[in-house]
């Protein structure tokens, strides 16, 4: 799972770089159609965690947001909404695998006061959607909407998007008109392609002006107060993360949304957290996505270990297999002791039940191995569970209990 998720950050899998000669490349731009094989990937992640590289995630808001100016000040690109000074909120619209990962990560890893606070519309309940929009109130004007759907046609997500667009209209904010012309998008893409290939590390005002001239953009680029870098004002309100040519992709393209991040068919929606689906929202909340990727790489290594007792995923699977007689005869109940892991069980539920709840295995054998993780059980369940165990019934062995824990709330 992790490997696929990690590979995703390198964009188009069609061409490959070998391990050799990768130093300094590190970040890969999706348009260049490059993928790094695993040994190279590890090296890249190590470099990223030293902070000397920029994580690129295709066409490429993560790259944009991660970019620092030469003097180490604010973002090189100043991204702002058309009707407010700066973005204050993200409204993420998606469901299932396109919502649960980012939700879990926001709950577990976002700083106490993130630069952008995130809200989710992940169901088609009209009252729930209205509630999220109403709570934004006037801050809708400073809200960046990210619409995530691998298929691009999921009705719940489409409903959420339509409701959000309606709310923008009613607030006098035109969702689609408030996006930038493709000229400047081109400039941004070209800029980052150059930056990411190390061709241009000494980006100066002059260099950016060349782009400005080349694409005849009429925007005014203010200078950074501390160095010579120019700030590119990017005006936008809507971002789509979806498969190319999906309904959502076409909508975003026709309506001229600023950014469209591709999702690839070989990445399962439920395992897409380490792709643009999870990384974009995380980066915008100020979560260190380089550390996320480095941590994922560590787990990826651990879960490839052939020695079962050193392989956490294999151990968990084996325990569950053993405890449920190999046929999923018991449910797994996940009790996070950490408040920050509250949504872990909900994320895991989708991951496991959708992956394993199949009638046939990969070889076409009938397995009907229906393994279940009941809906999000929080640690308070531990309280009632113990009460039940010690006072009412003796036997609660119809479930497998898992207690995820981490010593500190990561920052």
Ligand X SMILES: O=P(O)(O)OC[C@H]1O[C@H](O)[C@H](O)[C@@H](O)[C@@H]1O
Count of beta carbons in the 10 Å neighbourhood of residue 67: 21
The interface region with ligand X, picked from 80-88, 104-112, 145-153, 187-195 by CB under 6 A, is 145-153
Contact 146, 280 (CB under 8 A): yes
Report CA 237 to chain centroid distance, whole Å: 18
**CA nearest neighbour of 347 among 262, 409, 278, 397:** 278
Report CA 109 to chain centroid distance, whole Å: 13
Q: How far apart are CA 82 and CA 91, in angstroms?
A: 16
Question: Binding of ligand X at residue 154 (CB under 6 A)?
Answer: yes
The interface region with ligand X, picked from 42-50, 71-79, 94-102, 331-339 by CB under 6 A, is 94-102
> Which residue, 123 or 382, is less far from ligand X as judged by CB?
123
Q: How far apart are CA 126 and CA 289, in angstroms?
A: 33
The interface region with ligand X, picked from 95-103, 104-112, 181-189, 339-347 by CB under 6 A, is 95-103
200 token code pair: 């241009």
Binding to ligand X (CB under 6 A) within 345-364 occurs at: 354
| End-to-end Cα distance, the chain | 24
CB of 48 to ligand X, least distance (A): 27
Question: Binding of ligand X at residue 270 (CB under 6 A)?
Answer: yes
CB of 211 to ligand X, least distance (A): 34
Question: Binding of ligand X at residue 97 (CB under 6 A)?
Answer: yes
The interface region with ligand X, picked from 38-46, 60-68, 121-129, 149-157 by CB under 6 A, is 149-157
Question: Binding of ligand X at residue 102 (CB under 6 A)?
Answer: no
> Which residue, 92 or 193, is less far from ligand X as judged by CB?
92
Contact 200, 207 (CB under 8 A): yes
Question: Binding of ligand X at residue 183 (CB under 6 A)?
Answer: no
The interface region with ligand X, picked from 8-16, 54-62, 96-104, 196-204 by CB under 6 A, is 96-104
Question: Binding of ligand X at residue 336 (CB under 6 A)?
Answer: no
Q: How far apart are CA 170 and CA 362, in angstroms?
A: 50
Question: Binding of ligand X at residue 81 (CB under 6 A)?
Answer: no
Question: Binding of ligand X at residue 123 (CB under 6 A)?
Answer: no
> Which residue, 155 or 172, is less far from ligand X as judged by CB?
155
DSSP 184-218: HHHHHHHHHHHHHTTS-SS--HHHHHHHHHHHT--
Q: How far apart are CA 203 and CA 60, in angstroms?
A: 18
Question: Binding of ligand X at residue 278 (CB under 6 A)?
Answer: no
Instruction: State the pairing for strand pair 238-242/143-149.
Output: parallel
Name residue, tokens 């050799």.
20
CB of 399 to ligand X, least distance (A): 24
> Which residue, 151 or 194, is less far from ligand X as judged by CB?
151
Question: Binding of ligand X at residue 160 (CB under 6 A)?
Answer: no
The residue within the footprint of ligand X, chosen from 3, 151, 250, 382 (CB under 6 A), is: 151
> Which residue, 270 or 346, is less far from ligand X as judged by CB?
270
The residue within the footprint of ligand X, chosen from 95, 121, 203, 296 (CB under 6 A), is: 95
Q: Give strand pairing partners of 77.
A: 232
| Coil, strand or helix at 403 | coil
Q: How far apart are CA 299 and CA 310, in angstroms?
A: 11
CB of 216 to ligand X, least distance (A): 37
The residue within the footprint of ligand X, chosen from 26, 40, 96, 278 (CB under 6 A), is: 96
> Which residue, 197 or 372, is less far from ligand X as judged by CB?
372
Question: Binding of ligand X at residue 29 (CB under 6 A)?
Answer: no
156 token code pair: 């719940």
The residue within the footprint of ligand X, chosen from 48, 143, 157, 324 (CB under 6 A), is: 157
Question: Binding of ligand X at residue 159 (CB under 6 A)?
Answer: no
How many residues lie near ligand X (CB under 6 A)? 12
> Which residue, 22 or 243, is less far from ligand X as judged by CB?
243
The residue within the footprint of ligand X, chosen from 81, 160, 269, 336 (CB under 6 A), is: 269
Which residues form the interface with ligand X (CB under 6 A)? 95-98, 149-151, 154, 157, 269-270, 354
């Amino acid at each position: 799972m992790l490997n696929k998720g990690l590979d995703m950050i390198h964009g188009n899998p069609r061409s490959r770089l070998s391990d050799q000669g990768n130093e300094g490349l590190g970040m890969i731009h999706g348009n260049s159609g490059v993928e790094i094989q695993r040994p190279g990937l590890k090296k890249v992640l190590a470099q990223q965690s030293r902070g000397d590289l920029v994580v690129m995630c295709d066409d490429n808001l993560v790259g944009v947001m991660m970019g620092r100016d030469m003097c180490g000040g604010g973002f090189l690109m100043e991204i702002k909404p058309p009707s407010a000074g700066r973005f204050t909120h993200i409204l993420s619209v998606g469901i299932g695998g396109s919502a649960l990962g980012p939700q879990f990560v926001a709950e577990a890893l976002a700083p106490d006061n993130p630069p952008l606070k995130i809200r989710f519309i992940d169901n088609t309940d009209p009252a729930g959607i209205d509630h999220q929009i109403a709570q934004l109130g006037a801050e809708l004007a400073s809200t960046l909407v990210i619409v995530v759907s691998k298929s691009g046609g999921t009705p719940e997500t489409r409903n959420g998007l339509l409701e959000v667009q309606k709310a923008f209209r009613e607030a006098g904010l035109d969702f689609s008109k408030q996006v930038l012309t493709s000229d400047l998008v081109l400039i941004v893409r070209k800029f980052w392609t150059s930056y990411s290939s190390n061709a241009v590390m000494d980006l100066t005002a002059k260099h950016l002006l060349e782009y400005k001239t080349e694409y005849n953009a009429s925007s005014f680029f203010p200078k950074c107060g501390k160095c010579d870098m120019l700030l590119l004002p990017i005006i936008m309100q809507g971002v789509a993360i979806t498969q190319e040519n999906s309904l959502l992709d076409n909508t975003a393209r026709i309506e001229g949304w600023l950014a469209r991040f591709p999702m690839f068919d070989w990445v399962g929606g439920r395992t897409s957290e380490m792709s643009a689906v999870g990384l974009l929202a995380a980066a915008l909340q100020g979560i260190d996505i380089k550390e996320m990727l480095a941590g994922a790489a560590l787990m990826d290594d651990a879960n490839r270990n052939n020695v079962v007792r050193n392989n956490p995923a294999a151990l968990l699977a084996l325990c569950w297999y053993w405890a449920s007689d190999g046929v999923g005869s018991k449910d797994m109940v996940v009790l996070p002791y950490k408040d920050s892991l509250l949504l872990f069980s909900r994320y895991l539920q989708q991951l496991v039940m959708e992956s394993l709840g199949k009638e046939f295995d990969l070889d076409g054998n009938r397995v009907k191995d229906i393994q279940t993780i009941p809906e999000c059980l929080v640690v308070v369940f531990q309280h009632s569970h113990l009460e039940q165990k010690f006072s009412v019934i003796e036997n609660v062995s119809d479930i497998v209990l898992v207690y995820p824990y981490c010593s500190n709330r990561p920052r």
